[in-house]
A and B are shown apart, each in its own frame.
Chain A
Amino acid sequence: EPEVTQTPSHQVTQMGQEVILRCVPISNHLYFYWYRQILGQKVEFLVSFYNNEISEKSEIFDDQFSVERPDGSNFTLKIRSTKLEDSAMYFCASSKWANQPQHFGDGTRLSIL
């Protein structure tokens, strides 16, 4: 069964550094999403992406965040100048259409030192 894949599984970065989290959505899906989950808390929506542009973003998704689909398969989340509070699991998801089930990857654990 097709699945969303994320790399790396664990990323350790110094505070202030830039980090890029990578995702390969399911191949025939058109809608892409990033979420984060701080340890022990609920999953929080960051941003959605469709037709090569941001469709919706939350208050968390401020100017330090950006997303890109650099080619036909990858979907990336960049955090420009990481802060300690950016430490979390970051999940990528994709769906075939809007308001269809979103399928999640297993996440990247981001640890900011």
Chain B
Amino acid sequence: GESVGLHLPTLSVQEGDNSIINCAYSNSASDYFIWYKQESGKGPQFIIDIRSNMDKRQGQRVTVLLNKTVKHLSLQIAATQPGDSAVYFCAETPYSGGGADGLTFGKGTHLIIQP
């Protein structure tokens, strides 16, 4: 069936370096993509989103890139800080004409920031 998945379960980076977290999706009808951050004991926290009519979107210290040709999504975090340590999930949903579509989540990448 359709799925959204992440390439690496764990990513370890040095504090101050840039991080890139990748995600592959298989549903060609996917229209809306979100990155979430989940800290231990907390719910998923919205980071940034992007729609299929865009290929790049920037936020504060974060950039999301979308490559629809190869169905690939990435999250770039600039100058990582200890507070960035968390599990990062990509999620997607198809556009279905305004209904309340559920998100399909990937398996998550655990980002570890080394001092």
Q: Give how many B residues have a beta carbon under 8 Å from the other chain's beta carbons.
A: 26
Q: Is B100 an interface residue (CB 8 A)?
A: yes
Convert B33-61 into 0s and 1s, putting 1 for each residue whose CB lies closer than 8 angstroms to a CB of A.
01010000111111001000000000000
Q: Is B103 an interface residue (CB 8 A)?
A: yes
Measured between alpha carbons, how far is A2 from B32 in the docked complex, in Å?
23
Measured between alpha carbons, how far is A50 from B99 in the docked complex, in Å?
8
Instruction: Identify the interface centre among B36, B44, B91, B108: most chain A CB within 10 Å of its CB.
Output: B44
Given contacts A91-B43, A106-B42, contact A99 B105 (CB under 8 A): no
Instruction: Write the residues of chain A forming the contact surface with B, with a CB cutoff of 8 angstroms.
Output: 4, 31-33, 35, 41-50, 55-56, 58, 91, 93, 95, 98-99, 101-107
Instruction: Write the residues of chain B forming the contact surface with A, with a CB cutoff of 8 angstroms.
Output: 31-32, 34, 36, 41-46, 49, 89, 91, 93, 95, 98-108
